């Protein structure tokens, strides 16, 4: 049940955050999930003229919320795997003394402890679904890299956050024929950067409404 939400509550103290005595009522929520800005290119769930994504998985060695003050250590989430297509999405909350964050980093890595049933061994990224013709496809990668989303002050603080991986951008032009598998993997990795964006989920429903569709941060 925790696979789709970033839970920081215990780790805020354990991984370099404020001490227990410093904690205040400041609360930050963060949910991560697959979204789609163009369902006709790639939709979450059933295909709507393009790809239909029925499963998406990401293995991370760490997820870090980055305070605007460089003298404050990041709040770091321990390694785990994330199922990105799941209903309903789950949300975790952290209480922290930090008032302003200026970034978020996701370290994508294939880790044995993040192994998940149905995902190829050693995969850091995995997607399955159907193409426009209804034929099944899978995409996977064993790459390691970081997704960094940063801004200058003022950053963001006590707002409900949604980290969305836009499958319409991530999977654009994919899948490729089997004899182009090397190029497909490169596109699969590279396009994830442009597809990763942070939004404010004003009504905390775990979905992006029209009024929430403008990201506050984009991955470099």
Asked whether residue 138 is domain-assigned, the answer is: yes
Q: Collect all residues with Cβ–Cβ distance below 8 Å to 128 and sequence separation of at least 6.
A: 53, 54, 55, 136, 137, 138, 139
Contact of 178 with 135, CB cutoff 8 Å: no
Does the pLDDT of residue 166 top 90, yes or no? yes
CB contact set of 26 (below 8 Å; sequence gap of 6+): 95, 96, 97, 98, 99, 157, 158
Q: What is the pTM of this model?
A: 0.85
Q: Answer whether residue 21 shows pLDDT above 60.
A: no
pLDDT of 137 > 60? The answer is yes
Token reading at 39 = 């369902």
Flag whether 2 is in a domain. no
d(CA 198, CA 144): 21
Which pLDDT belongs to residue 94? 72
Instruction: Work out the average pLDDT over 185-196.
Output: 98
Region 53-69: mean pLDDT is 94
Quote the tokens at residue 136: 């099944």
Question: Does a structural domain hold residue 118?
Answer: yes
Quick one: pLDDT at residue 90? Answer: 63
Residues in the chain: 220
The answer to the question of residue 185 being in a domain is: yes
The answer to whether the CB of 48 falls within 8 A of the CB of 33 is no
Chain segment 3-17, per-residue pLDDT in tens: 334 333 333 333 444
What are 118-127's pLDDT values in tens digits? Answer: 999 999 999 9
Collapsing DSSP states into helix, strand and coil, what is residue 122? coil
Is the model more confident about 12 or about 96? 96
Q: Does residue 213 belong to any structural domain of this protein?
A: yes
Query: 65 lies in which domain range?
Result: 11-218
Helices marked H in 30-165: none
Tell me the chain's radius of gyration from C-alpha atoms. Answer: 17
Mean pLDDT of 172-194: 95
Q: Tell me, yes or no, whether 5 lies in a domain.
A: no
Angle at 164 between CA 123 and CA 145, to 5 degrees: 40
- For residue 140, pLDDT beyond 90: yes
- In the chain, the percentage of residues whose pLDDT exceeds 70 is 86
Please report the pLDDT score of residue 171 as a whole number: 98
Q: Tell me if 4 is assigned to some domain.
A: no
Query: Domains in the chain: how many in total?
Result: 1
Distance CA 73, CA 62 (A): 14
With 80 as the cut, is the pLDDT of residue 20 above it? Answer: no
d(CA 157, CA 147): 20
Question: Considering the domain boundaries, does residue 15 fall inside one?
Answer: yes
Residue 107 has pLDDT above 50, yes or no: yes
The pLDDT of residue 5:
40
Q: How much is the average pLDDT of 93-103?
A: 83
- pLDDT band at residue 34 using 50, 70 and 90 as cut-offs: very high
């Amino acid at each position: 049940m925790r696979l789709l939400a970033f839970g920081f509550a215990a780790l805020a103290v354990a991984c370099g955050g404020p001490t227990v005595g410093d904690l205040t009522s400041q609360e930050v929520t963060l949910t991560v999930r697959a979204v789609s800005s163009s369902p006709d290119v790639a939709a979450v769930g059933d295909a709507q003229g393009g790809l239909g994504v029925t499963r998406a998985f990401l293995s991370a060695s760490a997820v870090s919320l980055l305070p605007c003050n460089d003298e404050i250590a990041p709040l770091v989430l321990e390694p785990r795997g994330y199922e990105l297509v799941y209903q309903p999405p789950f949300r975790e909350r952290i209480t922290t003394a930090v008032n302003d964050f200026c970034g978020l980093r996701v370290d994508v890595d294939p880790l044995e402890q993040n192994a998940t049933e149905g995902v190829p061994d050693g995969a850091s990224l995995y997607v399955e679904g159907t193409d426009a013709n209804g034929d099944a496809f899978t995409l996977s990668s064993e790459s390691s890299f970081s997704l960094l989303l940063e801004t200058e002050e003022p950053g963001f603080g006590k707002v409900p956050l949604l980290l969305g991986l836009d499958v319409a951008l991530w999977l654009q032009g994919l899948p490729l024929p089997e004899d182009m598998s090397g190029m497909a993997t490169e596109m699969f990795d590279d396009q994830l950067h442009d597809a990763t964006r942070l939004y404010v989920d004003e009504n905390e429903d775990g979905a992006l409404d029209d009024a929430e569709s403008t990201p506050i941060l984009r991955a470099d």
